[in-house]
Amino acid sequence: MSQALENKADDTMLYSRIAQIIALARQKVASTVNLTMVHTYFEIGRMIVEEEQQGKERATYGKAVLKALSVKLLATFGKGFSVDNLERMKKFYLVYSPYISASALRKSDNPISASLLRKLEATEIPNHLENQAQPFANPYFRLSWSHYLVLMRIENPAERSFYEIEASNQNWSEAHLKRQYNSSLYERLALSRNKDEIIKLANEGQTVEKPLDLLKNSLTLEFLGLAEKSSYSESNLEHAIIDHLQHFLLELGKGFLFEARQKRFTFDEEHFFVDLVFYNRILQCYVLIDLKTDKLAHQDLGQMQMYVNYFDRYVKLDHEKPSIGILLCKHKKDTLVELTLPKDANIHASEYSLYLPDKALLQEKLGEWMESFENTQTR
């Protein structure tokens, strides 16, 4: 009986190892197919644009040309080549052709890149696109076609580059890319930074080098399912966050690991509880979060200072960085925070919202902030 059980365990282990290899192989094949499709669609878009640019008369009947082309391609290759899809391929080329460089394609291991390289080196960028090239754009394609269908709709090149870098580096699904765009992640991060750091967002995505890099101009918690006008307690908010912990970690940003809820510590025979305790592996420090559904008061800031002091003195290890305290509140007043805390305090107040922000309003605020910054620099 014992020998039979051992054989069964060996068989299960062998199956598990082989299944893992097959799954990885399929994932690799799917990834290669997706990237080849993206490069192919880019090349199709280029051909359509060049055909339409042969003359004004040709461009005038562009729709008719695409319709005729679509009929032939559908008959030969099946679905995927409708007029609408061909229009998308054309737009894909027009959006990304100013940013594709020969050196970048040489570094790509995609099988179609060599063909694209030869084509692009012999192709002039259309005059109306020549001045659009930006140094922060991604050099070549790394995402699926469904990702680029989302990215193409983003007009601001810096914002588009940010989402492209983050989606690639963080392995975002198409759904998560849409969610981050709809939650205005770029604007919320940008409004917490200076001009140089905004440019860095477009070049490198979100980098975490100091505590302030963790902060967004409000956290968006629409995934909790709490109605904005409903009455809920801090306990309700905490339970909702724990129930949606994966989403909350993604909203917090890079490097967060969950450690505990209602973390208790005791001194002078009195118990204290930190609502949520996280660890950030990039900054190598504890991040303590206290939840406030009412208006933030100076007593809340003092209490968080005590929590941070306790963790720094009795919990963190010598090689770890000072702990960070974040008061997650419905409303905050910056003046109250500044006057209550010393300038070097590692404590921050961050607002949260239970619904997706007004993207147009945030873009307007960011534009005003950039204009104000530039006016200050020129004085």
Domain boundaries, the chain: 2-134, 219-356
Quote the pLDDT of residue 305.
Answer: 93
Strands 219-220 and 256-267, sheet pairing: unpaired
Between the alpha carbon of residue 308 and those of residues 289, 312, 313, 325, 346, the distances in Å are 10, 6, 9, 6, 8
Residue type, 346: N
Hey, what long-range contacts does 188-194 have (CB within 8 A, 24 or more apart)? 188/216, 188/217, 188/218, 188/220, 188/357, 188/362, 189/216, 189/217, 190/366, 191/217, 191/362, 191/365, 191/366, 191/369, 192/216, 192/217, 194/373
Measured CA to CA, the distance from residue 241 to residue 255 in angstroms comes to: 18
- Write down the architecture of domain 219-356 according to CATH: 3-Layer(aba) Sandwich (3.40)
In angstroms, how far is the first alpha carbon of the chain from the final one?
A: 87
Quote the pLDDT of residue 375.
Answer: 60
Question: Which residue from 129, 161, 156 is spatially nearest to 143, judged by alpha carbons?
Answer: 161
Give CA 281 to chain center in angstroms: 18
Average pLDDT by stretches of 10, the chain with 379 residues: 56 70 66 78 86 61 79 87 91 85 49 50 42 42 91 91 90 91 88 75 80 81 82 90 93 92 89 95 95 88 93 94 93 82 85 85 77 59
Residues present in the chain in total: 379
Question: Which residue from 136, 138, 112, 189 is spatially nearest to 362, judged by alpha carbons?
Answer: 189
Residue type, 218: S
Question: Which residue from 319, 265, 268 is spatially nearest to 288, judged by alpha carbons?
Answer: 265
Quote the pLDDT of residue 377.
Answer: 54
Q: Which residues contact 142 (CB under 8 A, 6 or more apart)?
A: 35, 164, 168
How buried is residue 28: exposed, middle or buried, by Cβ count under 10 Å (0-12/13-18/19+)? Answer: exposed
Quote the pLDDT of residue 263.
Answer: 93
For the chain, give the secondary structure using H, E and C.
CHHHHHHHHHHHHHHHHHHHHHHHHHHHHHHHHHHHHHHHHHHHHHHHHHHHCCCHHHHHCHHHHHHHHHHHHHHHHCCCCCHHHHHHHHHHHHHHHHHCCHHHHHHCCCCCHHHHHHHHHCCCCCHHHHHHCCCCCCCCCCCCHHHHHHHCCCCCHHHHHHHHHHHHHCCCCHHHHHHHHHCCHHHHHHCCCCHHHHHHHHHHCCCCCCHHHHCCCCEECHHHCCCCCCCCCHHHHHHHHHHCHHHHHHHHCCCEEEEEEEEEEEECCEEEEEEEEEEECCCCEEEEEEEECCCCCHHHHHHHHHHHHHHHHHCCCCCCCCCEEEEEECCCCHHHHHHHCCCCCCEEEEEEECCCCCHHHHHHHHHHHHHHHHHHHHC
Measured CA to CA, the distance from residue 184 to residue 37 in angstroms comes to: 29
